[in-house]
Amino acid sequence: MVDFELELTDKDMARFLEQIHVEKRSADSQFLESIVSGIVEHIPFQNITMLTAPRHRPSSEWIKREMLSGLGGLCTARNPFLYAFLKKLGFNVRFVSSTILEADCHISLIVVLNDGEWWVDVGNGYPYFSPIRLGDESPQSNWFFRYRLVRKGPRYEVQHAFSGEEWSTNHHFSPTGVDFSVFDHMHEMHYQEPGWGPFLTGFRVNRFWSDGGAILKDHQATSPDGMEILSEPEQIQSWLEQWFGPKFWNHIDVNLAFKRWKETVKVVL
């Protein structure tokens, strides 16, 4: 029992493939990689709509609406949607539970293909453009950083290395599939407990492409134009309009999100 249901029609599938600029083909590793990289590039990783929405876990319909509208979201929307999307395409996919700072605090996926099992994650805010086959410890590289999977006993570590730095573990997971209910506590804490994670006490928005990216972390924005500090909601809105499409910035409320962020931080402090 996976206890997660998200129904997608053929029209939904075609609409999403168009959004991520991918053509449908057979369910193989190349198709899987094109889907993953298309989501990383074209669907924002963001917590703006989390801040402006009611403080409860997203329903399947909310996840579907956010992803099909191009708004995107966090691992709580992106990876469950990708799970349903891949299953509809004929992939064999399962949820796995990752540990970042807390156990069961991050949703990841394993996809089973003829040549092995592949780790997939479009919900951690990093440009994991390429899925990695379990057992392959060779690094994947892009302009932003390098990443790899390293087996440690029964678990796998997702390790990062930035320019000039040594490898460090970002998170780790067991490849054993889990029911979606494993993430119940994470959902409750992420959406109701400021400070349990970073998403009620700051801004996170990004998307990455093959040779660049636009990354907002609280007040610091990084883009091909360089790094800048954005102090006010109007500055953030203007920056988003430069680097993200109107399907995103025309359907979010930066002022409300900013207000809720600052009020939450004030309460926490």
Query: Angle at CA 198, nearest 5°, toward 40 and 128?
Result: 20
Q: What is the mean pLDDT of each run of 10 residues along the chain (269 residues)?
A: 88 98 95 98 98 94 97 97 98 97 94 96 97 98 97 97 95 97 94 92 97 98 98 98 95 97 73
CA dihedral for 157, 170, 121, 53, sign (positive or negative): positive
Residue 2: the pLDDT is: 72
First to last CA, the chain: 41
CB-based contact 237:246 (threshold 8 Å): no
Residue 128: the pLDDT is: 98
Residue 205: the pLDDT is: 98
Nearest Cα to Cα of residue 95 among 120, 130, 73, 129: 120
Residue 18: the pLDDT is: 97
Residue 267: the pLDDT is: 61
Domains and CATH numbers, the chain: 10-268 (3.30.2140.20)
Q: How far is CA 101 from the centre of its chain?
A: 17
Write down the residue that tokens 């680097």 correspond to. 243
- 70 contact partners, CB below 8 Å, separation of at least 6: 19, 42, 43, 44, 245, 247, 248
- Cα separations (Å) of 19 from 7, 35, 245? 18, 10, 11
Nearest Cα to Cα of residue 84 among 182, 13, 175: 13
